[in-house]
């Protein structure tokens, strides 16, 4: 009983010890915040990557691919049919994207992905990243009259999002306007014959035929990654260099030996916004059949087309690696590359995990340093309380009882520090975006710049097992730090302790 009473009285009268616990508190709070943010980022990233990639990708080693996707899919189905929810053939080719913006000619390096618009939706969450509500239901590569989102439909709070005003005109309206403007814009070009693009423009125009009316007809539809023609201003608003309805030119390698570069015109029918800037600024989706024809991947006699990847989506809860290994055992690795989405982004995921681990080690060291602070202050308190320890011993308190006072003291400080730290950390996580905004306003420099990350908000996930582990760890450190001083107190000789001045 005296242990509890004295513990409590020491807690209430020794504020210096509470000061020592502040470092534990801050350490705990920081660890919780860092873990929540890292977990949020990891989760957001995984979700996005997984939304874009299918569970398992079955690729050929060569860009030119393998013939007869149907037959391969049947084989895959035979091997792992029980686990598979959907499959879709695709063609991936590196290419160049070109479009004009005012008098500028913009060139971008891209990956063209030929997709089968009906089956592709079954293997990835591709559809949900599009900007037109009808395309989100079913993509048809046809330009829409209008009705493209002016507000990011993936944003957490639509009322706070900055509207994309340019998207209001996107669609046929924009295309007609541009077609009417075209003669005006092209006029000065005649005077600069040295421009190589001008002649090329003429050449393609001839190929298309003179009866092509851009105000009423479209080229083959293409879905552009939003990062290819969008930019973000400092205040977070999005501007567009091109809109659905504009034409772009894609230069791609053919499947001949050796590959030659050809180009074809496409019309932007939608934007693709996965919020993974790496994908948003490199992917262009076109109809698979068109791409196969353009590249010469269709056998002229049998009409069987080559594709270079099959996207496989598995049923919920199926072990990815197990199915991957099943498939690997059946298909020759010289020809086919079979990987899960985790394998494909392994380096990135591992890097984030590594970062989290290193941060945790560093932060736990901070808490450990706080432990030494507690150790020092506890030694001080034991010295200060030497006479009281002598008194208690003369009244018959056992060494273990004296030790109990200081261990209990350490534990209570640990509990106070860890729980206040936990509260602070959780509060910080809860209001992290508000805090980031406030800091941004004070320093005049945004802490979290949405134009870099493509998230509007800092994602956070509080994992209770992690929080529990952090809190228990901090308490353990507080107790460990009080063991040495407590033992010293327990071993004090009563007579010497009583004489201590």
Residues 6+ apart with CB under 8 A from 337: 57, 58, 59, 60, 61
For 98, the enclosing helix (H) or strand (E) is strand 84-101
Give, in order, the Cα–Cα distances in Å from 348 to each of 71, 129, 272, 479. 34, 22, 22, 38
Give the residues across from 252 on adjacent strands. Answer: 262
Q: Least distance to another protein from the beta carbon of 394, Å?
A: 5
The label of the residue with tokens 């939304």 reads 51
Q: Which is nearer to another protein, 409 or 448 (CB)?
A: 409
3-class DSSP state of 95: strand
Q: Least distance to another protein from the beta carbon of 387, Å?
A: 7
Q: Which is nearer to another protein, 241 or 498 (CB)?
A: 498
Q: Least distance to another protein from the beta carbon of 157, Å?
A: 53
CA 19/CA 11 separation, integer angstroms: 11
Q: Least distance to another protein from the beta carbon of 486, Å?
A: 17
Q: Which is nearer to another protein, 211 or 501 (CB)?
A: 501
Q: Least distance to another protein from the beta carbon of 407, Å?
A: 15
For 104, the enclosing helix (H) or strand (E) is strand 104-115
Q: Which is nearer to another protein, 252 or 406 (CB)?
A: 406
3-class DSSP state of 322: helix
2: tokens are: 């005296």
156: tokens are: 């957490």
* Structural Rg of the chain based on CA atoms: 33
Q: Least distance to another protein from the beta carbon of 9, Å?
A: 4
Q: Least distance to another protein from the beta carbon of 386, Å?
A: 12
Q: Which is nearer to another protein, 8 or 101 (CB)?
A: 8
Q: Least distance to another protein from the beta carbon of 431, Å?
A: 39
Task: Please say whether the beta carbons of 108 and 100 come within 8 A.
Answer: no
Q: Which is nearer to another protein, 399 or 446 (CB)?
A: 399
157: tokens are: 């709070």
21: tokens are: 């616990």
Question: How many residues can be counted in the chain?
Answer: 501
Q: Which is nearer to another protein, 4 or 376 (CB)?
A: 4
CA angle 52, 55, 59 (to 5 degrees): 90
Q: Which residues bind to another protein, rule: CB under 8 A?
A: 1-2, 4-6, 9-10, 13, 387-388, 390-399, 401, 493-495, 498
Q: Least distance to another protein from the beta carbon of 455, Å?
A: 53
Q: Which is nearer to another protein, 89 or 408 (CB)?
A: 408
Q: Which is nearer to another protein, 234 or 395 (CB)?
A: 395
The label of the residue with tokens 């939706």 reads 121
Q: Least distance to another protein from the beta carbon of 31, Å?
A: 34
380 closest CA partner among 255, 264, 481, 269:
481
Residue 244 carries which DSSP code?
Answer: B
Q: Least distance to another protein from the beta carbon of 399, Å?
A: 7
What one-character-per-residue DSSP string does 349-390 give?
A: HHHHHHHHHHHHHHHHHHHHHHHHHHHHHHHHHHHHTHHHHH
Show the beta-strand stretches assigned E in 226-320: 230-232, 238-240, 247-253, 261-272, 283-287, 306-307, 309-314
CA 173/CA 182 separation, integer angstroms: 14
CA 129/CA 310 separation, integer angstroms: 21
Q: Which is nearer to another protein, 2 or 212 (CB)?
A: 2
Q: Which is nearer to another protein, 354 or 495 (CB)?
A: 495
């Amino acid at each position: 009983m005296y242990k509890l009473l004295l513990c409590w009285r020491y807690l209430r009268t020794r504020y210096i010890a509470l000061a020592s616990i502040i470092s534990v508190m801050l350490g705990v709070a920081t660890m919780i915040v860092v873990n929540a943010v890292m977990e949020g980022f990891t989760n957001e990233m995984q979700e996005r990557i997984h939304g874009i990639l299918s569970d398992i990708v079955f690729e050929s080693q060569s860009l030119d691919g393998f013939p007869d996707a149907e037959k391969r899919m049947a084989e895959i189905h035979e091997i792992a049919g029980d686990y598979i929810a959907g499959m879709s053939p695709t063609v991936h080719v590196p290419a160049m994207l070109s479009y004009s913006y005012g008098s500028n000619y913009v060139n971008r390096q891209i990956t063209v992905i030929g997709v089968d618009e009906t089956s592709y939706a079954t293997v990835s969450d591709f559809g949900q990243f599009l900007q037109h509500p009808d395309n989100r239901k079913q993509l048809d590569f046809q330009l829409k009259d209008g009705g493209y989102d002016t507000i990011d439909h993936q944003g957490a709070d639509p009322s706070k999002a900055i509207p994309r005003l340019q998207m209001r005109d996107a669609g046929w309206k924009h295309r007609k306007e541009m077609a009417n403007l075209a003669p005006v814009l092209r006029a000065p070009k005649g005077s600069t014959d040295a421009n190589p693009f001008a002649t090329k423009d003429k050449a393609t125009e001839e190929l298309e035929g003179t009866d092509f009316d851009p105000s009423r007809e479209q080229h083959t539809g293409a879905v552009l990654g939003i990062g290819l023609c969008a930019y973000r201003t400092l205040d977070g608003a999005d501007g567009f260099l091109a809109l659905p309805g504009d034409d772009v030119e894609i230069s791609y390698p053919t499947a001949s030996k050796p590959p030659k570069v050809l180009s074809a015109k496409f019309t932007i029918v939608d934007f693709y916004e996965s919020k993974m800037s790496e994908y948003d600024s490199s992917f262009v989706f076109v109809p698979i059949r068109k791409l196969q024809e353009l590249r010469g991947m269709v056998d002229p006699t049998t009409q069987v087309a080559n594709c270079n990847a099959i996207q496989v989506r598995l049923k919920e809860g199926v072990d990815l690696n197990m199915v991957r290994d099943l498939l690997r055992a059946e298909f020759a690795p010289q020809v086919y590359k079979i990987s899960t989405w985790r394998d494909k982004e392994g380096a990135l995921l591992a890097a984030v995990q590594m970062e989290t681990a290193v941060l945790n080690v560093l932060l736990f060291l901070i808490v450990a340093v706080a432990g030494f602070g507690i150790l020092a202050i506890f030694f001080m308190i034991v010295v200060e309380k030497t006479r009281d320890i002598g008194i208690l011993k003369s009244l018959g308190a056992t060494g273990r009882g004296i030790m109990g006072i200081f261990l209990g003291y350490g534990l209570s400080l640990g509990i106070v520090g860890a729980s206040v730290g936990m509260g602070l950390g959780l509060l910080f996580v809860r209001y992290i975006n508000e805090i980031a905004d406030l800091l941004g306003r004070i320093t005049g420099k945004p802490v979290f710049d949405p134009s870099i990350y493509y998230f509007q908000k800092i994602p956070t996930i509080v994992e209770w097992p992690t929080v529990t582990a952090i809190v228990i760890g901090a308490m353990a450190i507080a107790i460990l730090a009080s063991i040495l001083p407590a033992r010293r107190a327990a071993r004090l000789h009563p007579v010497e302790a009583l004489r201590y001045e």
